[in-house]
């Protein structure tokens, strides 16, 4: 497979390189060649299916009434088609670039408006909670979707242990910032570290979980090991990966994508076929594994559970 | 077989190879988790690459004095158009499932789709008039008409820049190639004018 994905670029360079020595004198053409070389090498897509061994299985997992009854997307698609810019911007990059990432040991820093702040080792952070399987629809803002059997714990249950105070109105999350371990952070594609946030009622909602696994196993690195957020009624970019910091705040935090393009990505980012992305339609989506698109449901099909959180709000303004 | 014939054959084979590879990958279910997206992206990129390659033929020919390069311009241009047509077909049939209300909405409301469409519409008459007969019939107007290829390439690059979410490296690489090719033409035209001016003085 490695060989296959290099093919095209080889042809392009082979045609051009022999002339390069002569052309160096011609400044304009030299610039063109630099561009061609960037296309050939810089734009090269990494090999798909660099199959890393599956992570270890997780201990006892209980089923949940919140699980969807839909057929989960294949393990391969879930783990080889990822948006995780910390490990490259092409969909197949994270599976390759995160292969050697070491998520352990890991700790989570809790701070802000809570009575028990501090840095907590991951094991302690999760201690005493039962692991639940949550089969959720997952809808990306780019109009693809999947169904993932996550394994996790309701975020609200965990937060309560650390005793948020009355002024805690929002939760801010941050991804690890470590360019040596997350090579994508060496370039300023986004403002690192990745930051996301929820309103307190969204964070405490029983559908919102912190996931530590999928398909009964620990989270693969490319899916946000060892700890990520899952908010199934929001576009995928809200579900921040590899969380190292959780901060309770009185005011809404800045979030990475809404900071980068405020007219395209809002704080709420609820899945909504009635509000298009400025550059593309959100009315339909392609479920990975399907050929044709299907209609997108408001709140990703979780309207019964969550629509009341947004009663009275104009979702075309608070997108 | 003459050298020109060999070069033509080589160009056609090389140009068709990416399409053949796509077909093989499609049949072998090797296009990844989102095959329609992969087909769209690969066809779009090859359309743009071949278009730019076609535009590079004349500067290379002039600078290197390699007259035999000339026929490649048409071959590469037609190949580029072929991938653009495939790209459009993949979009309309596989991506949109021929749901015209969505296609029309895309065309009217999404600037990046409109730019891609514009590029295709500009390429269409060029592909049609690429035959010897048309070249003869149109005479000097043919050259004028075929300068539209720069507009088509520009629209395609704009299309690419507009559809990217955050990582602009790739579309900007294509943009810099196009800029260099355009600059070459402009400078050459300017120099010509200048030398004509001095000669008559
Ligand atoms: C009616 C005409 C066209 C339509 C409807 C169209 C549509 C599209 C769509 C839907 C995408 C994918 C966007 C995404 O993934 O977010 C795309 C990508 C692209 N298109 Fe087009 N396109 C058209 C014409 C063209 C033409 C004429 C060219 C080149 C000459 C072109 C070059 C590209 C390139 C380079 C990409 C990006 C591929 C990548 O991301 O790897 N398109 N186009």
**Looking at residue B124, what is its pLDDT?**
97
Tens-place pLDDT, residues A12-48: 443 444 444 444 444 444 444 444 444 443 333 334 4
* A162-198 tens-digit pLDDT: 999 999 999 999 999 999 999 999 999 899 999 999 9
Question: Are residues B106 and A292, on separate chains, in Cβ contact within 8 Å?
Answer: no
| C-alpha A242 – ligand 1 centre gap (Å) | 33
Buried/exposed code over A215-252 (b: 16+ C-beta within 10 A; e: otherwise):
bebbbbbbbbbbbbbbbbbbbbbbbbbbbbbbbbbeee
Q: How far is the CA of B113 from the centre of ligand 1 (A)?
A: 7
Q: Is the reported ipTM for this assembly greater than 0.95?
A: no
Which residue's C-alpha comes closest to atom 7 of ligand 1?
B113
Q: Is A87 within 8 Å of A178 (Cβ atoms)?
A: no
CB contact under 8 A, A144 and B37: yes
**What is the pLDDT confidence band of residue B199, given thresholds at 50, 70 and 90?**
low
- Listed by number, the residues of chain B in 17-36 with a beta carbon closer than 8 Å to a beta carbon of chain A are 17-18, 21, 25, 30, 32-36
| A4 part of contact set with chain B, CB < 8 Å | yes
**pLDDT tier at A53, thresholds 50, 70, 90:** confident
Domain made up of A26-310: CATH architecture: Alpha-Beta Complex (3.90)
- In whole numbers, what is the pLDDT of chain A averaged over residues? 87
Burial class of A200 by CB neighbour count within 10 A (0 to 12, 13 to 18, 19+):
middle
How much is the pLDDT for A51?
A: 63
Percent of chain A with pLDDT strictly greater than 70: 84
CA distances from A301 to A23, A138, A274, B190 (A): 58, 10, 14, 61
Q: Is the pLDDT of residue A2 over 70?
A: no
| Counts of helices then strands in chain A (DSSP H, E) | 10, 13
Q: Shortest Cα distance from A166 to chain B (angstroms)?
A: 38
Residue B3's pLDDT band (cuts 50, 70, 90): confident
Answer whether residue A213 shows pLDDT above 70.
yes
Mean pLDDT of A292-296: 94
**A228 φ/ψ sector (left φ>0, alpha ψ -120 to 50, else beta):** beta
| Closest residue of chain A to B46, computed from CA coordinates | A8
The interaxial angle of helices B72-89 and B111-128, nearest 10 deg, is 140
User: Which residue of chain A has the CA closest to B58?
Assistant: A29
In A116-221, which residue ranges form alpha helices assigned H by DSSP?
122-126, 155-161, 200-203
The average pLDDT across A280-289 equals 94
Q: What is the pLDDT of residue B194?
A: 83
pLDDT higher than threshold 50 for residue A10: no
Nearest-CA neighbor of B8 among B72, B60, B101?
B72
A78 touches A146 (CB < 8 A): yes
Flag whether residue B127 sits within 8 Å of chain A, measured between CB atoms.
no
**A86 vs B contacts (CB less than 8 Å):** none
Please, what is the Cα angle at A284 between A272 and A264, to 5 degrees? 50
Strand A243-249 and strand A170-175: the pairing is antiparallel
Average pLDDT (B172-200) is 86
Proportion of chain B in helix, strand, coil states, percent, rounded to 5: 85, 0, 15
User: Looking at the DSSP assignment, which residues form a beta bridge with residue A214?
Assistant: A150, A217
Contacts with A29 (C-beta within 8 Å, 6 or more apart), sequence order? A23, B59, B60, B63, B180, B184
State the pTM of this model: 0.84
Task: Break chain A into its structural domains and give their ranges.
Answer: 26-310
Q: Is the pLDDT of residue A239 over 60?
A: yes
For residue A123, how many other CB atoms are within 10 A of its CB? 11
């Amino acid at each position: 497979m490695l060989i296959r994905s290099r093919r095209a670029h080889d042809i392009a360079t082979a045609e051009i390189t022999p002339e390069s020595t002569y052309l160096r004198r011609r400044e304009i053409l030299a610039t063109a060649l630099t561009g061609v070389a960037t296309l050939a090498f810089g734009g090269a897509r990494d090999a798909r299916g660099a199959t890393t061994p599956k992570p270890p299985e997780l201990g006892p997992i209980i089923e949940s009434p919140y699980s969807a009854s839909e057929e989960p997307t294949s393990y391969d698609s879930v783990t080889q088609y990822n948006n995780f810019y910390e490990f490259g911007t092409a969909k197949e990059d994270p599976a390759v670039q995160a292969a050697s990432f070491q998520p352990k040991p890991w700790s989570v820093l809790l701070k802000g408006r809570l009575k028990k702040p501090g840095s907590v080792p991951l094991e302690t952070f999760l201690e005493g909670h039962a692991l639940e399987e949550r089969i959720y629809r997952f809808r990306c803002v780019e109009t693809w979707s999947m169904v993932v059997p996550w394994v996790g714990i309701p975020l609200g249950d965990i937060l309560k242990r650390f005793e948020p105070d009355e002024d805690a109105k929002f939760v801010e999350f941050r991804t690890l910032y470590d360019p040596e371990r997350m090579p994508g952070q060496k370039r300023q594609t986004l403002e690192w570290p990745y930051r996301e946030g929820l309103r307190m009622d969204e964070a405490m909602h029983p559908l919102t979980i912190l996931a530590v696994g999928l398909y009964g196993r620990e989270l693969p690195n490319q899916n946000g090991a060892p700890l990520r957020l899952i908010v199934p009624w929001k576009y995928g970019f809200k579900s921040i990966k590899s969380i190292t910091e959780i901060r309770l705040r009185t005011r809404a935090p800045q979030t990475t994508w809404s900071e980068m393009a405020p007219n395209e990505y809002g704080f709420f980012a609820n899945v909504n076929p009635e509000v298009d992305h400025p550059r593309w339609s959100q009315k339909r989506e392609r479920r990975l594994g399907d050929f044709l698109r299907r209609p997108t449901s408001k709140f990703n099909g979780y309207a019964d559970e969550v629509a009341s959180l947004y009663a009275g709000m104009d979702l075309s303004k608070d997108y | 077989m003459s050298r020109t014939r060999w070069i033509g054959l080589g160009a056609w084979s090389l140009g068709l190879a990416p399409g053949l590879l796509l077909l093989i990958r499609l049949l072998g279910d090797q296009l990844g988790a989102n095959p329609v997206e992969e087909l769209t992206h690969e066809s779009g990129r090859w359309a743009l690459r071949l278009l730019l390659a076609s535009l590079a033929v004349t500067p290379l020919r002039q600078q290197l004095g390699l007259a035999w390069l000339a026929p490649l311009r048409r071959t590469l241009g037609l190949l580029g158009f072929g991938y653009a047509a495939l790209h459009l077909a993949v979009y309309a049939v596989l991506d949109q499932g021929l749901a015209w209300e969505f296609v029309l909405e895309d065309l009217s409301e999404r600037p990046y789709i409109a730019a891609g469409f514009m590029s295709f519409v500009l390429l269409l008459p060029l592909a049609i008039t690429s035959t010897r007969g048309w070249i003869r019939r149109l005479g000097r107007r043919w050259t004028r008409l075929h300068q539209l290829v720069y507009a088509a390439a520009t629209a395609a690059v704009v299309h690419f820049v507009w559809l990217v979410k955050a990582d602009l490296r790739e579309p900007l690489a294509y943009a810099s190639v196009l800029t260099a090719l355009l600059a070459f033409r402009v400078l050459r035209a300017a120099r010509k004018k200048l030398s004509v001016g001095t000669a008559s003085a």
